[in-house]
Amino acid sequence: MKWGITIFIIIIILFVIFLFSAFTVDITKQAVILEFGKPIRVIKEPGLYFRKPFIQQVIFFEKRILEYDSEPTLVVTKDKKSMILDSFALFRIADPVLFLKTVRNEIGAQARLDDIIYSEMRRIVGQYDFDDIVSIKREEVFEEVTKSSQEKAKELGIEISTVRMKRVSVPEENLRKIYDSMIAERERQAALYRAEGQREAQRIKSEAEKKKVVILSEAYRKAQELKGSGEAEASRILQSALSSNPEFYQFLKSLEIYKKTLPGNVLIITPDSEIFKYLRSK
């Protein structure tokens, strides 16, 4: 009976020791074992582990990628323009012992990263012009911020994977200026369209007028040529016919003219006129 009780007590004690000493490290976590407050071991692989109860202490840290998210901050570029940058960074706790010594926990890390990334950003953005940051050199700028932040964060046991810009913006009054210049540009464009419309319409209309004059004057020329050649031809034909007896032609033509002009008019004649030739000679 005595032995039985002893064994039972020993089992209970062992079980309690087991409960106090066993711990699991999840795949998302890493652990540091402290002995009397001094780190003696880092566990990065997941699994079941043991510690010496009471004298060893286990502290867990995230092993996954974490996000550092800053407040939007106002920075000034080389050409003295302000811009609002809202950055965030992806980071991991690479050296948990160092991390523990320098920043203790994730909240501490956020605060220190704030200092690092903010000051690096101010420093580097200040070396570039506004337009460059917005357009061509944006990647270069943030690459640089990432690199120098990485350097400094290393001292905290933190590995920064990348620093990125969630927002790149401008303060309200600068926004107004951008809008104004966009509006002015559009207004120019609209005015240009209207002027182009006027000009083009005018061009087409004057082209039409010009064409009209050209067509009509050409037609006039051709008509005159035709008429002239007709008249020339006609007089040539007549001439060749009449030249055989011009006097008789003159007589005929005179008669014709009388026939055309005299009827309806008053004819004042003397009795010795040719018409009365026979009247007289009677």
Partner 1 sequence: MENFKEYPPLFKKKVPLKSIVGIVLFILILVSFSLSFYFVGPAEVGIVKRFGKIVAVHDPGLHWKLPFIDQAIKVDVMAIRRLEIGFRTITLNPPQYRNVQEESLLLTKDGKIVDLDFVVQYQISEPVKYISYVKEGERLLRDLAQASMRQVVGGYLFDEILTVSKDEIQNDVKISLQNILNSNNFGIKILNVQLQDVIPPDPVQPAFQDVINAKSEKDKLILEAQAYYNKIVPEAEGQAAKIIAEAEAYRTEQIEKAKGDAQRFKALLERYNKTPSLIKTKLFMEAMEMILPQVKIIVIDDPKGGMKIFNLPGDLFTQTTTIRQEGENK
Sole binder of partner 1 in the list 53, 104, 209, 250 (CB under 8 A)? 209
Name which of 34 and 165 has its Cβ closer to partner 1.
165
DSSP H or E segment with residue 25: strand 22-25
- Contacts with partner 1, 217-236, as mask; x by CB under 8 A: -xxx-xxxxxx-xxx-xxxx
Name which of 37 and 271 has its Cβ closer to partner 1.
271
Q: Is 281 in the site for partner 1 (CB under 8 A)?
A: no
Q: Is 275 in the site for partner 1 (CB under 8 A)?
A: yes
d(CA 106, CA 226): 105
CB of 121 to partner 1, least distance (A): 14
Measuring CA to CA, how many Å separate 276 from each of 161, 193, 258, 282?
137, 88, 17, 10
**Judged by CB under 8 A, how many residues of this single chain contact partner 1?**
107
142-181 binders of partner 1 (CB under 8 A): 161-162, 164-170, 175, 178-179, 181
Helix axes 106-125, 138-154, angle to 10 degrees: 140
Name which of 104 and 186 has its Cβ closer to partner 1.
186
d(CA 159, CA 116): 13
Radius of gyration of the chain from its Cα atoms, rounded to whole angstroms: 57
Q: From 10-18, 113-121, 145-153, 182-190, give the range in contact with partner 1 by CB under 8 A.
A: 182-190
Q: Is 280 in the site for partner 1 (CB under 8 A)?
A: no
51-70 binders of partner 1 (CB under 8 A): 62, 64-67, 69
d(CA 208, CA 242): 50
Name which of 35 and 129 has its Cβ closer to partner 1.
129
Token pair in block for residue 38: 């001094």
Name which of 16 and 262 has its Cβ closer to partner 1.
262
d(CA 160, CA 94): 9
Most distant CA atoms of the chain, gap in Å:
202
CA-nearest of 64, 117, 130 to 86 is 117
Sole binder of partner 1 in the list 4, 54, 270, 281 (CB under 8 A)? 270
Is 166:102 a contact under the CB 8 Å cutoff?
A: no
72-131 binders of partner 1 (CB under 8 A): 88, 90, 130-131
d(CA 198, CA 204): 10
Q: Is 24 in the site for partner 1 (CB under 8 A)?
A: yes
Q: Is 197 in the site for partner 1 (CB under 8 A)?
A: yes
Q: Is 267 in the site for partner 1 (CB under 8 A)?
A: yes
Token pair in block for residue 104: 């203790």
CB of 253 to partner 1, least distance (A): 10
Token pair in block for residue 166: 């969630």
CB of 257 to partner 1, least distance (A): 10
